């Protein structure tokens, strides 16, 4: 089986400051990887580089064997690289059904057909209903986003990402800002993602990391200092010093 996502010696500098320092990683279909690290480690810059929002000084990004380093964000989405954001980017006056329909139509190159039309498109509505139902949002399909809870908005963003039919999904703190009482719904949705989808999740909640990830990558000062099994990350001296600290000594992780 070939890697679906590869990053090779990616480097980015701003002035004299190196914020991404020869980062390399690869993911296979079905991988569940957590990207962690202290604030300022370069996680957001890394995601912006691999999604095409920033251009690296050197190195390359490959999707399904194709080099996409010079291709913009839209082209990478069309090739199967989709991301979510740490803060929701939803239209408060639109409904969940409209958001997911827009994602479906954008994927198929028909976004201009959305308003006033998508309800009469059986194929689009079937996909919208299936995705919203899968994420427990069916009853809210035609409510304004401003009227639904923040945790449900995060689930809606996941529905939109899945509507784009990604091969690689980058999740930027999917439970950020969600009340503790609702995080279980987010975790259930993550556990129910397609088995062949490669998922890279940026997350600070270490309990969520250990429940989700089969592999952990740690960034510090823009460089990868660990890439391995969750059971081993807490034992790594560099990781303990740079990031985990006392968390690594917690009895439930030992």
**pLDDT band at residue 253 under the 50/70/90 scheme:** very low
Q: Assign residue 60 the CATH number of its domain.
A: 3.40.50.300
Is 115 part of a structural domain of the chain?
Answer: no
Beta-carbon contacts of residue 169 (< 8 Å; ≥ 6 apart): 82, 83, 84, 161, 162, 193, 197, 198, 199, 200
Model-level pTM?
A: 0.88
Question: What does the pLDDT read at residue 252?
Answer: 45
Is 108 part of a structural domain of the chain?
Answer: no
Question: What does the pLDDT read at residue 87?
Answer: 53
Domains in the chain, number: 1
Is 60 part of a structural domain of the chain?
Answer: yes
Which two three-digit tokens encode residue 250? 């917690």
Is 175 part of a structural domain of the chain?
Answer: yes
- Average pLDDT, stretch 35-41? 89
What is the rounded radius of gyration, in angstroms, for the C-alpha atoms of the chain?
A: 19
Query: Do 12 and 45 touch, CB atoms closer than 8 A?
Result: yes
Is 152 part of a structural domain of the chain?
Answer: no
Give the H or E element holding residue 228.
strand 223-228
**114 pLDDT more than 60:** no
Q: pLDDT above 70 covers what percent of the chain?
A: 91
Is 238 part of a structural domain of the chain?
Answer: yes
Give the H or E element holding residue 210.
helix 206-212
Rounded CA-CA distance 34/208 in Å is 10
Domain interval for residue 75: 5-90+165-249
Nearest to 26 by CA among 44, 49, 9: 9
Which two three-digit tokens encode residue 24? 């390399």
């Amino acid at each position: 089986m070939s890697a679906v996502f590869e990053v090779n010696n990616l480097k980015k500098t701003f002035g004299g400051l190196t914020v991404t320092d020869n980062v390399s990683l690869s993911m296979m279909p079905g991988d569940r990887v957590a990207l962690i690290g202290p604030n300022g480690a370069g996680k957001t810059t890394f995601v912006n580089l691999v999604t095409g929002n920033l251009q690296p000084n050197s190195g390359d990004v490959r999707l399904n064997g194709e080099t996409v380093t010079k291709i913009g964000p839209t082209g990478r989405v069309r090739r199967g690289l989709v991301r979510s954001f740490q803060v929701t980017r939803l239209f408060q006056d639109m409904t969940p059904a409209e958001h997911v329909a827009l994602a479906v139509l954008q994927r198929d190159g028909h976004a201009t057909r959305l308003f006033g039309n998508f309800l009469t498109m059986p194929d689009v509505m079937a996909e919208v209903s299936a995705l919203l139902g899968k994420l427990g949002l069916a009853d809210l399909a035609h409510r304004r986003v401003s009227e639904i809870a923040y945790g449900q908005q995060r689930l809606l963003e996941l529905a939109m990402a899945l509507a784009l039919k990604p091969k690689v999904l980058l999740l930027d703190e999917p439970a950020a800002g969600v009340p503790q009482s609702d995080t279980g719904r987010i975790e259930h949705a993550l556990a129910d993602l397609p088995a062949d989808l490669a998922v890279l999740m940026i997350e600070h909640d270490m309990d969520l990391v250990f429940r989700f990830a089969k592999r952990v990558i740690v960034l510090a000062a823009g460089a990868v200092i660990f890439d391995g099994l969750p059971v081993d990350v807490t034992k790594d001296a560099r990781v303990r010093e740079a990031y985990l600290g006392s968390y690594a000594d917690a009895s439930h992780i030992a």
